[in-house]
Structure 1
Amino acid sequence: MSLTITACGTDTLSQGFYDQRPAWDDCGDGFECAKLRVPLDYRHPRGEELAISVIRLPATGDRLGSIVINPGGPGGSGIDYGRAARSVLSPQVRDRFDVVAFDPRGVGESAPVECLSDKGLDAFLALDATPDSPAELAALEEGSRRFADGCQAMSPRLLPHIGTANAARDMDVLRAALGDERLTYLGKSYGTYLGAMYADLFPTRVRALVLDGAVDPALNRVELNEGQAEGFSVAFKAYAEHCFAIPDCPLTSRTVDGAVAELTSLLRRTDEEPLRGDGRSVTEALATLGALTPLYDRRTWPVLTEALRQASTGEGELLLHSADQLVGRARDGTYSNQTEANMAVNCVDSPYPGKLSAFATAAKAAERRAPGFGAYVMWGSLPCAFWPVPAAEPNRPLAARGAPPILVVGTTRDPATPYGWARAMAAQLESGVLLTLDGDGHTAYLNGSSCVDGTVDAYLVWGRIPRDGMRCPEIE
């Protein structure tokens, strides 16, 4: 795909962008699609512009306005998420709001960042991301440099302008184009950071924000990687406890620490002898991805059980399939640009260590905190050490001073965004209100808790603000 950039002419920011009205076209199954014009560089709004892809499902009842949704990532397609609107939001919310989603700049159908060919992504994702020899470290460094250089070669004009702050500015242009005076928003995972950034930049333009599976805005990238690795470790231990209670559990130790040791040993063995999987070698990196993917949703724990059983016989097809799902690889070997966009946004959003020695030190610390996951999660960010454009700014708390109450939702054993991050975000936001689900899996809304669902719906539709610190019980 090519970058969609055209000249803005002499339009001012307000007249050229905030005054636009999308030309909605029918795009099937009750949805409408349109393009939104935004500046490539908000510091120079009269320069080049981007076309942002937007999708809408009109309200079914007495319309209050629009609700914008984001699935996270960064790099997750908002267009795909929007097409799932009927399962993303309750009928009560869809009755009152047009559901609107968009691919953020650099993602999917919105000037997608490009870095590597499909075969290049195959090679990068299969690299040993827990290097324990000079040769493995050299290969990981070379592959990471190739990734960063590829982004610069294929997306040079876009790369400096990807990032959460600019995506939040785009979202304000979208709010205005929809005709809403204030934004109603549901963001999950990374989408919570996007929502908090929006509130910090435009606090008086907030109506209601639900930030589910929150990211701590104040943490630097090393701290975020360490925390996420530990989140996967907590989730795996919860899975192990569940596994012990079923008759065909492939974990033989029957203790949590023993289960962690079994998984770590399995992953390390694939470093020496990859598993077999549909004609591809399931390396340690791919096996690790495949093991952590089912932890995102308790309903996919049986997939992990079967994958571990397969792996004990040298078969890795199910682990490979799970890994492919997480990185956006289709059965035919083609990729979405999710992996490239994820790396590009993360590298630009905040600084990373610039030396291999710093990564190595951080990886060792993370592995001590989260055996089996820590080193992999840390080394996976190595392309950012060689990123061709500087990071926007150091991470900082986001207070959103002057915004109305913002609902932050955290799950106690969330694998990808640890519960402590939700507590931290709610505390940083001047008007943050924390809602807790005692449970498993990544994010809480519409994942089985009537307590969470009812509280979120009442906040979005009627503006009912729950008690700060409200706790919903574990799902039976």
Structure 2
Amino acid sequence: MALSSAGTLVASLIAGAVTAPAATADSRPAQDREARGAAIAAARTAHQGIDWQDCPADWGLVKPIQCGWVSVPLDYAHPYGKQIKLAVDRIGNTGTQQDRQGALVYNPGGPGGSGMRFPTRVTNKNPLWTNVSKAYDFVGFDPRGVGHSAPISCVDPQEFVKAPKADPVPGTEADKRAQRKLAREYAEGCGERSGAMLPHMTTPNTARDLDVIRAALGEKKLNYLGVSYGTYLGAVYGTLFPGHLRRMVVDSVVNPDRDNIWYKANLNQDIAFEGRWKDWEDWVAANDAAFHLGTTRAAVQDKWLKLRATAKKHPLGGVVGPAELIGFFQSAPYYDSSWVPVATVFSKYVAGDTQALVDAAAPDLSDIAGNASSENGNAVYTAVECADAKWPTDWKTWDRDNTRLNRDYPFMTWANAWMNLPCATWPAKQHTPVEVTTHRGLPPVLIVQSTRDAATPYEGAVSLHKRFKNSRLITEQGAGSHGVTGLVNPCINERVDAYLLKGQLDRSDVTCAPHATPKP
């Protein structure tokens, strides 16, 4: 879920009969229509299949990876109405035909992330996925609205990345009014540029798209790997299509509780980010011989606050203010792999090398494609979170909750609030989240989670574990990197392999020691 907004750069933060979810009386007719529409679309696409070709040259996906398209209804309540095309790609299993167990479909999160790089885990010979790739085709896709799949936009991409942006932490009521104006204008821009798509940019629709992709692949049942928001997509898919699922691994889990989607999820994220930020500061202090940023957490924090104050008064290099600093430094509480690079740049700045920090944190206005991708990712993030659930429309609620949180958890609170505030004035319908639960036919699901995860707090994995009967939870104790299955930890890696290759799960939940702590 690492994305950016109109106001700041921040983190937030995935044929046959169709099983409709449990529904309230007033929502059931619409869901029944959408369930029928999904079955129609899946049957149609199963007949058509996918016309696999070499990928377009500018997609950066080389042979033997192949690309294709799957058509899905914009609105599943009208399956014969307007269709949109979803980009998909694949690489065949590396073992024999006898080894093959079907396709493994991947979503990396966001919402707004592209899964199209997934097959490169095979071409790049990622050792963690060698065994699984012998048995499965690796399939990625751009979800609706993302990348090559009917992409949406809310602002001009070059305007989106221009710097510097206002300090996310408001000092005055005027600062809050300015940020509220930016959020309202961003929501209006989404409506103006992508209005026809917005009512249909929901997680349940993306789950229906996933089932159409399953059918297009010729698979009776789906094998799925979802990370971050991809876990919520998986949870909704498992609820809507329990009998269509074969195996599912969800890694770094969004709490699927209806009350959590999405306003509370972002408030809870602020608390978790503060905890992981402190973990990083403790590590920096313990490695003072390498970084010279102080021997205590308090000393490191003091240097961070001085850096923020300096950048607020005079943006570094004229382009890096507090918002850009958050955009750069937030990767440390997100991913352990960023601990050394972020600390190294911070250390250089304190030693007098300002340019290193400017180079790392400033937006690159010359990167036209990258900026368009960032703007699109942010647009989808906002569109899905705003459409999935009803948000508070009363500014007093936002102001009260974020002012209170900011007192104890200041690292991300206000930056996260401004990123999500467009949902308060969203110009399209906001839906009621699916009640994630076990329906008949749901197979055992493997859940993987670290206890110190900042973007998706640990409680999310516990909540999904309770909702999905016969699921197993692997806990990485004392670790906090987001996306556990991509890290070297044999206790986890071997269990993921055993589940995907043999359907094996431990008889009870498992707690693993943390993966190796980064070394300077």
TM over 0.5: yes
Counterpart check, 1:75 vs 2:112: yes
Q: 2:277 is matched with which residue: 212, 236, 256?
A: 236
Is contact 1:203–1:403 with CA below 8 Å preserved after alignment? Answer: yes
CA separation of 1:152/1:451 partners in 2, compared to 1, >3 Å: closer, same or farther? same
* Aligned partner letter, 1:248: A
Shift of 1:417: 1.3
Change beyond 3 A, Cα 1:185–1:443 = same
Aligned CA distance change for structure 1 residues 445 and 275 (closer, same or farther; 3 Å): same
> Please, which runs of 5 or more residues in structure 2 have no aligned partner?
1-38, 56-61
What is the aligned partner in structure 2 of residue 19 from structure 1?
47
1:63 to 84, 90, 100: 100
CA distance in 1, matches of 2:77, 2:345: 50
Segment of structure 1 superposing worse, 43-52 or 265-274: 265-274
Preserved contact between residue 42 and residue 211 of structure 2 (Cα < 8 Å) = no
Partner in structure 1 of residue 325 of structure 2: 287
Whole-Å separation in 1 of the counterparts to 2:498 and 2:345: 40
Partner in structure 1 of residue 17 of structure 2: none
Matched residue, 1:41: 75
Q: Structure 1 residues 268 and 423, CA, compared in 2 at 3 Å: closer, same or farther?
A: farther
User: 1:120 maps to what in 2?
Assistant: 159
| Candidates 202, 207, 232, aligned match of 1:168 | 207
In structure 2, the partner of 1:447 is 487
- The answer on whether the counterparts of 2:66 and 2:91 sit within 8 Å (CA) in structure 1 is yes
Alignment of 1:12-411 (within 5 A): 12-27=40-55, 28-61=62-95, 62-85=99-122, 86-87=125-126, 90-123=129-162, 126-218=165-257, 219-246=260-287, 247-252=289-294, 254-257=295-298, 259-260=300-301, 262-276=303-317, 280-312=318-350, 313=352, 315=354, 317-318=356-357, 321=360, 330=367, 334-336=371-373, 337-394=376-433, 396-400=435-439, 402-411=441-450
Distance 1:268 1:364, change over 3 A: farther
Paired with 1:357 and 1:124, the residues of 2 have a C-alpha distance of: 29
8 Å CA contact 2:204–2:434 kept in 1: the answer is no
Mapped partners of 2:202, 2:355: distance in 1: 35
- Report the 3-state secondary structure (helix = DSSP H, G, I; strand = E; otherwise coil) of the residue aligned with 1:80: coil
**Whole-Å separation in 2 of the counterparts to 1:400 and 1:122:** 44
- Quote the Cα distance in structure 2 between the aligned partners of 1:211 and 1:311: 38
Q: Provide the C-alpha distance between the structure 2 equivalents of 1:205 and 1:431, rounded to a whole number of angstroms.
A: 17
Larger deviation, residues 457-466 vs 303-312: 303-312
| Length, aligned pairs only | 460
SS in 1 for 2:372: coil
Retained in 2: the 8 A contact 1:196–1:400? no
Cα deviation for residue 286 of structure 1 reads 1.3
TM-score by length of 2: 0.82
Q: How much identity, in percent, do the aligned residues show?
A: 33
Report if the CA contact (8 A) 1:251-1:262 is conserved. yes
The TM-score normalised by the length of structure 1 is 0.90
Measured after TM superposition, the shift of residue 433 of structure 1 is 1.4
Write the distance in 1 (CA, Å) between the matches of 2:366 and 2:186.
Answer: 17
Secondary structure of 2:443's counterpart equals coil
Q: Cα gap change, 1:423/1:264 in structure 2, threshold over 3 Å: closer, same or farther?
A: farther
**Shift in alpha-carbon separation, 1:390–1:260, aligned structure 2, 3 A:** farther
1:5 is matched with which residue? Answer: none
- Aligned mates of 1:376, 1:15 — CA distance in 2: 44
- Say which SS state the counterpart of residue 157 (structure 1) adopts: coil
CA distance in 1, matches of 2:405, 2:301: 15
Give the drift of 1:214: 0.5
What's the Cα RMSD here?
2.5
Larger RCO (alpha carbons 8 Å, 6+ apart):
2
For residues 268 and 47 of structure 2, the distance between their equivalents in structure 1, rounded to whole angstroms, comes to 42
Residues 369/320 of structure 1: CA separation in 2 closer, same or farther (3 Å cut): farther
Question: Given that residues 401 and 431 in structure 1 are in contact (C-alpha distance below 8 angstroms), is that contact kept between their aligned partners in structure 2?
Answer: no
2:5 corresponds to: none
Deviation, 1:320, is 6.4
Per-residue CA distance 1:210-243 (angstroms, 9 max, x = gap):
0001100111323211221222222222212221
Which residue identity lines up with residue 399 of structure 2 in the other structure? A
Residue range with higher mean Cα deviation, 466-475 or 104-113: 466-475
In the alignment, structure 1 segments of 5+ residues that lack a partner are: 1-10
Distance 1:395 1:248, change over 3 A: farther
| Structure 2 SS opposite 1:342 | helix
For 1:322 and 1:231, how far apart are their aligned partners in 2? 23
The answer to whether 1:469 aligns with 2:509 is: yes
User: 1-side partners of 2:263 and 2:321: how far apart?
Assistant: 24
Could you tell me which amino acid in structure 1 is paired with residue 480 of structure 2?
A: D
